[in-house]
Amino acid sequence: MWNVKCQGASIPALGFGTFELAVEDAARMVEHALQAGYRHIDTAQIYGNEQGVGEALAHAPFRREEIFLTTKVWIDAMRSGKLEASVEASLEKLQTDYVDLLLLHWPNPKVDFQAMFDALNTVKEQGLARHIGVSNYPSDWLARAQEASRAPLVTNQIEYHPFLAQNTLFPALREADMVLTAYCPLAQGRVFENDTLKAIGEKHGKNPGQIALRWLIQQDGVVAIPRSSREANASANIEIFDFELSEGEMKQITALADPNGRVINPEGLAPEWD
């Protein structure tokens, strides 16, 4: 596995996501993911499983600095004072003194924007987070965030997979020297039904999910964080570093983008997307 380097951060190109995993399942699957070779673990306050992730990390036969750990601040904790307290609570659950990456989970138009980023930077300056960033920020919010943050923002974690193009946001991230962290990289299983991905997979002896993940990480500045509740699937997802897609295959997959390809679009949370 290789790392994507940006703004002083070195992020493993493939991470293990824990969205929708209960505490016990998160503990089980993170333990398995680490055994399978993952060194990048992604969680969030709203997932309700930081305790399970922390239990797995505490029992892992690895030094803390060998694991890149991300968590995300939920919208109800983005006010100054509350944000800092929420991070301390997350660290207690995660059984660690710091996270490698701390993200604001969704845009929150109901809080003071500058104060929110001041609090995020304070957490970093206190050593509770080594790097900071955002999640689900469209390009206009991203530009405001860059202006508001004293420290560089390392990533924007957004939905990205073969069926959803990010033709506006991806170039904006590259210009800002930020990583695109792709969540929902398998489009919640839709990739396994696609004939193009199946055909390319047959050429390489890989399944469509592995092809989709390879397509993502083979792009400069992209990290992917697939989630699975099954050990076999998590092990399969990391088996993508022993082959390479051709330029033609990359273009074939890029052409699968659909204007209606977005999967995650929660009412009341989602901003106006690019």
Active site residues: 47
- Three-state DSSP class for 227? strand
- If DSSP codes are grouped into helix, strand and coil, which group holds residue 16? strand
Distance CA 47, CA 103 (A): 14
> How far is residue 120's CA from residue 49's CA, in Å, rounded to a whole number?
22
Token output for 261:
């390809």
| Rounded-to-integer distance, Cα 191 and Cα 112, Å | 39
**CA 7, CA 10: separation in Å to the nearest integer?**
9
- The structure tokens listed for 133 are 């960033």
In the numeric block, the tokens 């301390």 are attached to: 88
DSSP state for residue 40 in the 8-state scheme: E
Angle between helices 139-148 and 113-125 (to 10 degrees): 60
Which parts of 173-240 are beta strand (E)? 179-183, 222-224
d(CA 102, CA 98): 9
| Angle in degrees, CA 270, 114, 137, rounded to 5 | 25
